[in-house]
Amino acid sequence: MRILLDIGHPKDVNVFKNVIFSLQKKGYEVKIVARAKENTKKLLDEYGFQYKVGPYYKNIIGKAFGVILNDLWLYRLAKEFKPDIFVSPGSPYSAHVSWLLRKPHIAFSDTEIAGIVIKLMLPFTDKIYTSTSFYLDWGQNRYDLMGIMN
């Protein structure tokens, strides 16, 4: 199985590192993509991961155009890699591209305050796993993270 894992924040490297190691050990091919935010590249390098880095935009205008530019960047990478599934901590880029390529997108979100990102991602995401402490209604595709741990 070919898995495209989209890292959006440095903390995601630590959240997903053991999953990546485990999947690779089992023979899965994991393609890591990330944005050049803060120390994300440094963390990926420290764990010895191979990855591709896309642009990260800091201001609101850059972020608005960045949705389109990151979608195009990821689309080109995904067409070449041909993933079976997209996994992210809630990436709108992975959600959009997975939908375009007719592949499932699974998200593991740790925040419900990123309103715009959630609105850009949710309609294109097949399953989203969240904490039981979330208050917002994320719709029928939301699952309890603890449910997959039992």
pLDDT in tens, 21-47: 999 999 999 999 998 888 999 999 999
| pTM check: above 0.85 | no
Looking at the predicted structure, is the pLDDT value of residue 128 above 80?
Answer: no
- For residue 114 the two structure tokens come to 């990123």
Plot region of 31 (φ>0 → left; ψ -120 to 50 → alpha; else → beta): beta
What mean pLDDT is reported for the chain?
Answer: 84
Which strand ranges, in their side-by-side order, compose the sheet holding 105-108? 51-54, 29-35, 2-7, 85-88, 105-108, 127-130, 142-144
**Segment (H or E) for 20:** helix 10-25
Mean pLDDT lowest for which of 31-35, 115-119, 123-127? 115-119
- β-pairing, 127-130 with 105-108? parallel
Question: What pLDDT is stored for residue 18 in this prediction?
Answer: 95
Looking at the predicted structure, is the pLDDT value of residue 147 above 60?
Answer: no
Question: What pLDDT is stored for residue 129 in this prediction?
Answer: 76
Q: How far is CA 119 from CA 90, 122, 128, 150, in A?
A: 10, 6, 13, 29
The three-state secondary structure class of 100 is helix
Binning pLDDT at 50, 70 and 90, where does residue 96 land? Answer: very high
- For residue 142 the two structure tokens come to 């939301």
